[in-house]
């Protein structure tokens, strides 16, 4: 009986297998990247909601007291906020990276009292930082893709409108070098706001 020799793969078969693997990898990588970015954004949105709950507790328990009157500088509203960045090279306009604690900046306008302590604009608010300590280390996870998707930073803000007496809360996002502020939030069209409203549906 003659044994048939097992022949190995010929060059053409190897090339076909390699081409199939290359196609599968080319299809899989964008899908994996897209799913990874969605997961990063979900973490940011969950952290933003946790920060929102912490700030709401401070406001609702009277630990934050907004001044009754304000000058024209704060005509948009008087607020407290938490800014979270992906990395310190991606901060918005007007911030000093040395003022951050990790990837977080907690701010408040002048005249706002937090736990009885008067605060100064453009300095970290230690009382808000203490309230956030239970969350541990926080940073923005999303990776911006141009301006259509993702973000480099997001802000959770509570402010008081002295004209109406209303306390409002916002979550909004932006990109490296953008200006952050209530002006951005009122448009309600930042990427994180859109993503969060989509998630509610």
- Judge whether 54 lies within some domain: yes
Beta carbons within 10 angstroms of residue 7's beta carbon: 6
Give DSSP secondary structure letters for 42-78. Answer: HHHHHHHHHHHHHHHHHHHTTSEE--S---GGGTT-E
Cite the DSSP H helix spans in the chain: 11-60, 126-132, 182-187, 191-200
Q: Is residue 120 helix, strand or coil?
A: coil
**Which pLDDT tens digit goes with each residue over 37-72?**
888 889 999 999 999 999 999 999 999 888 876 554
- How far apart, in whole angstroms, are the C-alpha atoms of residue 80 and residue 82? 7
Number of domains in the chain: 1
- Judge whether 178 lies within some domain: yes
Contact (Cβ atoms closer than 8 angstroms) between residue 150 and residue 144: yes
**Which pLDDT tens digit goes with each residue over 99-117?**
898 899 998 887 888 888 7
Domain that holds residue 93: 30-200
- Judge whether 86 lies within some domain: yes
- Judge whether 4 lies within some domain: no
pTM: 0.79
- How far apart, in whole angstroms, are the C-alpha atoms of residue 197 and residue 193? 6
Say what the pLDDT of residue 49 is.
93
- Judge whether 23 lies within some domain: no
- How far apart, in whole angstroms, are the C-alpha atoms of residue 133 and residue 155? 17
- Judge whether 22 lies within some domain: no
- How far apart, in whole angstroms, are the C-alpha atoms of residue 25 and residue 58? 49
**Which pLDDT tens digit goes with each residue over 62-71?**
998 888 765 5
- Judge whether 19 lies within some domain: no
- Judge whether 154 lies within some domain: yes
């Amino acid at each position: 009986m003659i044994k048939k020799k097992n022949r190995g793969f010929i060059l053409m078969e190897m090339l076909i297998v390699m081409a199939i693997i290359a196609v599968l990898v080319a299809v899989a990588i964008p899908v994996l990247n897209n799913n990874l970015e969605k997961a990063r954004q979900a973490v940011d949105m969950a952290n933003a909601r946790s920060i929102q709950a912490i700030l709401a507790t401070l406001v609702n328990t009277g630990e934050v007291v907004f001044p009754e009157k304000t000058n024209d500088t704060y005509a948009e509203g008087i607020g407290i906020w938490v800014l979270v960045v992906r990395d310190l090279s991606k901060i918005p306009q007007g911030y000093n990276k040395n003022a951050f604690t990790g990837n977080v900046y907690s701010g408040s306008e002048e005249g706002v009292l937090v736990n009885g302590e008067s605060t100064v604009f453009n300095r970290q608010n230690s009382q808000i930082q203490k309230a956030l300590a239970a969350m541990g280390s926080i940073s923005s996870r999303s990776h911006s893709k141009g301006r259509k998707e993702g973000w480099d930073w997001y802000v959770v803000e509570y402010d008081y409108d002295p004209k109406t007496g209303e306390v409002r809360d916002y979550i909004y996002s932006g990109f490296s070098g953008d200006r952050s502020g209530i002006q951005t939030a009122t448009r309600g069209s930042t990427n994180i706001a859109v993503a969060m409203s989509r998630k509610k549906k």
